[in-house]
Amino acid sequence: MKLKFVSPLAVAVLMSVAAFSQAGGSSALPAAPGAADPAPTAPAFNPNAKIAAINVEQAIFLTNEGQRDMGALQKKFEPKFTDLKSKNDEIDSLKKKLDATTTAQPEKADLTRQIDLKQKAFERERQDVQEDAQTQQGEIGQRIFQKMGPVIMKYAQDNGLGMIVDTSTPWPNGPIMYYAPLDITKAVVDAYNAQSGVPAPTTPATRPPVGGTTRPSAPATKPATTNPPAK
């Protein structure tokens, strides 16, 4: 299962980029005491505003902070992954023994019961480990994105962007079919790294297999596709 750890927050930030950039990032003056609330005004239409794309999940993973913390998470869970692999190997060995046995039916039935009990215990433990890993991965992602949101919005304002779309979910599960060459993922990662001051790890974290049974599923790398042309 692929973890979607930033979607609600990402949507809120990315949808506000247009209004933020078109308004110039300024706030309205506070109303005088007792004055009626002013009627809301729509942002002025900017025909020159551009559209860009960012893979939010990939950006979080590729930051120095994300690489450091995801790498630490992988090391933390490594003993559990190893234990699960040993238990799975034991079950496979029993299955092979059952297939090869020519003993009486009671012994075959006993092997079958052993396999069934071990398989059920393994599946419960595997699910618990995966859910725990995904929860902790989600916490890392949310924490980084809380700080990345303002970086994205500043980049949008500085570069005259009217809209940024999140390409974390590829077509056909997501709505975006075409989003290069105006992908700003690397630019945002670079800006975030410069602001955070976290040095690049000496050993970058590797991406576990998406949907893996025991490892936390890091944001998946999306193939290079293409952007809508600038508006």
Tens-place pLDDT, residues 136-173: 999 999 999 999 999 999 999 999 898 899 988 888 88
User: What pLDDT score does 182 carry?
Assistant: 84
3-state SS assignment for residue 53: strand
- Please, what's the b/e burial string for 23-43 (b: 16 or more CB within 10 A of its CB; e: otherwise)? eeeeeeeeeeeeeeeeeeeee
Question: Which of 136, 165, 231, 144 is CA-nearest to residue 11?
Answer: 165
In whole angstroms, how far apart are CA 82 and each of 77, 90, 130, 152? 9, 12, 13, 39
User: What pLDDT score does 82 carry?
Assistant: 94
Domain segments of the chain as ranges: 7-23+48-196
* Inter-residue contact 6 to 148 (CB < 8 Å): no
* Inter-residue contact 180 to 51 (CB < 8 Å): no
For residues 46 and 83, the model is more confident at 83
* Inter-residue contact 163 to 37 (CB < 8 Å): no
User: What pLDDT score does 10 carry?
Assistant: 43
User: What pLDDT score does 128 carry?
Assistant: 95
